[in-house]
Structure formats: structure tokens, C-alpha cells
Structure 1
């Protein structure tokens, strides 16, 4: 299993040590450094590329949200904070996950399982090969071609330079940003509801002012994307 570099940023010494202990147990992560301030982490990231960022939000001088907003390119970010009220802001920022202190082992393990799935999908990521009219398309996955029908695509999820295609049968990953995919005429039936998500309206089971439920899966609605939806 390939290793993926990460760093941890937390101004609380006890929390930082706890986070280090848990991250070091994750077999596919390689801890490249720990930092007690966002400014120190930002300086490190100017000359070092990492893949995963475990980031506290409430820190002096520069908050985790401020640091995250300044990073380009952005690694995968998992916010860790004692303040659950930051959850909406973290989802708006397209973070991978949001963990509340004190960290619970089962919740952390679930997040790491999702992270491993993400890397597995990314390693198998394909490229669009061809569109078949407006009904389906092929993507390359390794040495194989997979045919995907648009009617089976529940939603699209942004994963940095990649996009996860979530279907009724399985998930796929393509080397294309979500924005690039949505600019294609073939994806004209998809509605962007969040920086990280786009849906097909006919799969929507429930809609509120803050979330949409698609086949039992709750997806957040970004504040600046509400105009794309008819919310009563």
C-alpha cells in the first residue's frame, strides 16, 4: 500500500499529541510534520507538498479556515475542532471531513476508511473516452473501459483535480475537475448545489434550506448555490 504524506496543525499540545497518536496508527499515512500555529504550517507548505492536512480551526493569529482559504493547491483537509458550530463553514470550504474534539476512535476510523477509499479511487481514476449520444459515456479504468449511463449517476463529488462519479451500482473517479465536467453539454442536466457536489434533480427525495437527500444520502447545500435550486 502506498503512503500518503500528511501534517497536523493544532495549537493545543494535548490535542496535538492525541492526534499524532491516532494518525500514526493509520498504515497508509506518513506524518511529515506537526505544527502549533497556522503561520508555521503555511511556511512549511511553501516548500513542501503534502497530501492530507489535519487542521484545527480555532487558533490564534491565523485560524484553520483562514489558512485553508490561502492554500493553493489545496491538499485534502480534515478539520478537527472543539467547536461544532464551525461545521457549516468547513463544509462550505469543501473540506474532506470535519471531526469534533475530543476525537473518538470509531469516528476517526470511519473518516480514515473514507480517505482510503478516496485514494483507491484516485489511483484507479480514468479519463473520459467517448460520449454515446446523451445517454451514456465510457471512462477508462486501468486497462478496462466502463460504460456509465447518465440515468444511473446519483451525484458528482469534487475531489480536487478529480471528480467522483457516484452511481447506483458503484463509484468511479475521473481526472477532471467538477467545474470542467459541468461545463460539458453532456452534463447539462446536473445542478451544482455546493462547491463539492452536483446532482440530478430526479434523484432528490427531500430538500431543505441546508441539505438535499439523494437516495438516502444527505448532501449539503452551499449558500452561494441556493439560487440554482427552487427552495420553497
Structure 2
């Protein structure tokens, strides 16, 4: 895996040093900046090529959520916070992972595995190619074409310019953003419930005010701006 440039932003010195020590255990992470405030980080973000942002949320001045809104060009954002109540809001900002403090090495290692998978998906992204019959799509994976039945897709997950098509068996990636896919007629059975997620209504087993549970047990958050639409259809 190639070297990944990262920055760490946290106003708590102990937490900041902890993340630095964990990051140094992974040879593919290149720490190019460590900051105690969002404003300090913001000054250099525009001038650097950054792959990963390790970011606290509750900071004075510009908080982590506000910084992420100004740094959307960074592909992977990992929020590390003592406030789990920010989870739903953070996932509306292309968040790759959300870690609750105190951070432990095994949890950080899980995050690194997810980062690696995310970067590999970006690198090997499949191309959305064509449809036949209305209930089947073909995507290009490497040098092969894979046929996917639309009714096997549980949900769609946005990864910036890419979209994951998640089935019971496997996750496939297409080089198309989720908004564009949902405009296609063959995805009309999907409903967008979050900036990052769209689900097939037939797979929704349970719905609360904050999330939906699918038939395979996966729980997906509901974005605040999508609640009314979901309530009218489900």
C-alpha cells in the first residue's frame, strides 16, 4: 500500500500524542502535521496533499465538524471524540470512521484496516457500464464483467465520487456518485435516507427516529434532512 499523508488535529495534548504514537506504528502513514486547533490546520490544508484527517470534534473556535466542512477534498476523515452523540451529524460529512475516546490501539488498528480497504476500492474502482432487462446491471471489475441482480442489493453507500453496492454476499464499487445512480430508473426502488446511504425499502425491517435496521441486521443512520421523505414512504 502506498504512503498515505495524514494530519492530526486535537486540542487535548494527551489524546493528540496518543494518536501520533499509534499512527507511527503503521509504516504506510506519513504524518505531515499535528495541530491543537482547527484554525492552525486550516491554514496549511489548502497547500498540502492530504489523504487522511484524524480529527477531534469538540474544540474551541472552529470545531471538528466545521473544519471537515471546509476540508472536503481530503478523502478519508476519521473523527476521534469523547462525544458519541456527534456520530449521526459526522456521518453526513463523508466520515470514514468514528472513534469514541479513550482511543485504544486495537480500535485504531480496525480503523487502519478500513482506511486500507477504502483506498484500495478507490484505486480499483469498478465502472458502471450497462443494464439489461431492468433488474440486472453489469459492472467492470478489473478485466471482468460482473452481473448483479438489483434485488440482491441491500443498500448503496457513498464514497465521494464512488458508490458501494452492498449485497448479502459482496460489496462492489462503481465510479459514479450516489446521487447520479439514484436518478437512474433501475434504482427507483431505493430511497435515500442519509447523505451517504440509500436502501431498498423492501429490506427495511425496523425504523426508529434515528436509524433503520435492514433484513441482514445492518443498522444505517437516518440523516436529519431525509426524515420527512422516509416517513412519507415507509
**Cα distance in 2 for residues equivalent to 1:164 and 1:100:** 25
- State the alpha-carbon separation in 1 of the partners of residues 145 and 32 from structure 2: 37
Report the counterpart of residue 51 of structure 1 in structure 2: 51
User: What is residue 22 of structure 1 aligned with on the other side?
Assistant: 22
Partner of 2:220 in structure 1?
219
Equivalent residue number for residue 141 of structure 2: 141
Q: For 1:11 and 1:153, how far apart are their aligned partners in 2?
A: 42
Report the Cα offset of residue 136 of structure 1: 0.8
1:11 counterpart SS class: coil
Counterpart contact for 2:6–2:31, Cα < 8 Å: yes
Please report how far the alpha carbon of residue 134 of structure 1 lies from its aligned counterpart in structure 2 after TM superposition: 1.0
CA displacement at 1:17 relative to structure 2: 0.9
5+ residue gaps, structure 1, are none
Q: Report the equivalent of 2:110.
A: 110
Residues 168-183 of structure 1: pairs in structure 2 closer than 5 A:
168-183=168-183
Structure 2 runs not aligned, ≥5 long: none
The aligned length equals 232
TM-score (norm 1): 0.94
Q: Which moved more, 1:110-119 or 1:141-150?
A: 110-119
| TM-score when normalising by structure 2 | 0.93
**CA 22–91 in structure 1, closer or farther in 2 if over 3 Å, else same:** same
CA RMSD of aligned residues (A): 1.6
- Structural mapping, 1:153-192, within 5 Å: 153-192=153-192
How many Å separate the matches in 2 of 1:27 and 1:181? 37
Task: Answer yes or no: is the 8 Å Cα contact 2:50–2:74 preserved in 1.
Answer: no
